[in-house]
Structure 1
């Protein structure tokens, strides 16, 4: 019994030694190829024109509400051929039919021109020629795959459908600047640029061989690192509201000969942006050429819309009630050497806190604010910060290109005694819509 155990142990130890020896040999060979023979094999690869090239990941889709596509990448295919692979008998009997089909389908060459091109490639022993003058769709690819030679199941057909992708925007002209773009230099705008990394995914690699004419031919299917496709982005844009908002803005701008304008439709309950339209005049036509809603060019004095923030700051910081009153006089009020004009000729007279906002009274709002915050301006500015009016919205809004707010402080060299009253009604500051 002891002899059997010893025999088994010897066999196991021998097997372990053999496996370890093989592993060491493989490891040493890897080191030899990588470090000692690395330059040699690299030069051999260069001689053969072999190179690992980027295999692009499929870019993610941008969706509107209800999963309606705003931007997506559609697969297209370049049709190429290795004419040397085709069986000689198959080539002899079917090539004429194939060239006629190519001519009818692409309409760029006569059948005899396609035949001459393929025959010349065979004569020169070329392993790769491009047949399609344009990329084809997936449906077209399925149709071409049924053609003679291309559909031969018993032999290698030589046909290669190389995938390329095209970014397409189903609602051309709608939300163009909001959706945005990314160019070849990785510059861009809108959602495409803001979420570029997430949409892009991770590119893979595939082995290609450079051939005559500078084209690159894929080599095999095992010599590749598959790409990881990009993530999809879901937005709150309502495409119907977007369409209505754009038509309304264009009509109003045309009526008033405006140079640019924007509309942002927000759902009050959730804060969700349902539409964002940006139109600028370009060669007598209104186009989405810049995002005025968030960008520097659209950053202006907010005017009366800012009165709401000023009055909210008052309510947050004081015991004022909606029925407290202030006198607006005859429609003019002087702050130092500068006179403020009210929104009604002859003035609003006495105004309650509520009426001041309802009537958008310049004098009432500015007097309420200067009376309460005149000696504690920093507190007023704190509330503006608290409301998010002076914060970096690019991080929270998540759309690149956000203009920075310009809200003065007493440290600003342009601050004066009239800054607070005019700021309270939306002037001497700049905000994007």
Structure 2
């Protein structure tokens, strides 16, 4: 027992004291080896970045019932006395790439689930839940993509052709006022709606048309066409106008320029009626906030006469007929309602342009000639809307307002019957 205590006493004397009085034991060879391993086990920068991204992925918030994605990392347990541990840099880089891909997958899933939640619960979308189910099932287009209902894509050639059309559209000015829209056709002509200038030359309401109009009034210097983007800019040409054709039923007229120099190029007209577009592009004047500037109204929906929209409009008017009869001077206008909606010469559509757009061309994209005029904008319906007070007009449901256009093929037949040479000049030989 005495020898054992003496031996321990000598052993304790060999221990060094630190400046603060603590006893510090010298490092053994095994401790030195472990320290060397720890120094070689320093994590590379890319692995540190990976672990940082993993921590961010774990902190992604839960939103409205969406399950939060977490990443579980299995830490390696170090043996208390490892004999030897190799740290291959290549294997660590592979592990980093694997972790990064895993993080990217987590973030994509989170983003997709968040989009799913917001779209599914968005009350501003009328059928959001059904639309999303169609996307998921692949019945609403390619799975995972939200698609438009209509295909109105254009090739660069078609876009360039459409882009050159506005220069051929002008505004008919009479005594400083915007009377409507016209567009260039044929060698020296312009086409427009008949009603926009009939009031300019009207002199009476007699039974004979010769007694109703004085066509010489068109020769007035204050009546001209301005092809500029804004009618406040000085017109490039000042040419006298002559009416050489009109049709009241189709609400169309053809005007002739006395001077043909500096006129913009003519537009291509569709006389065959082959085009049955689901939407048209309109170029004209008559924007509600600024009627003095030329505007492009793209992708205006064409509405079939037998569509649900038209049937709903008739039903709505029938319910509110008595109310609106009390709002206008002539109740018979309300009774006329949507008269003419089933006229085969007419195109029913929805557009944004209003007063001042009458006479504007209705453009459709054609694979052969790129862009053709398929009709001419004439008027809006129901007619009694324009006889309401401003307050009643603002309260009128926009879903039950439509615009009419006359089909170009019917205009061709009317001109062909009245003046074959004029039809040949305007429509060409096809």
Q: TM-score range by the shorter chain?
A: under 0.3
TM-score, length of structure 2 as denominator length:
0.20
Larger Rg: 2
Q: Which has the higher contact order (CA 8 A, sep 6+)?
A: 1
TM-score, length of structure 1 as denominator length:
0.20
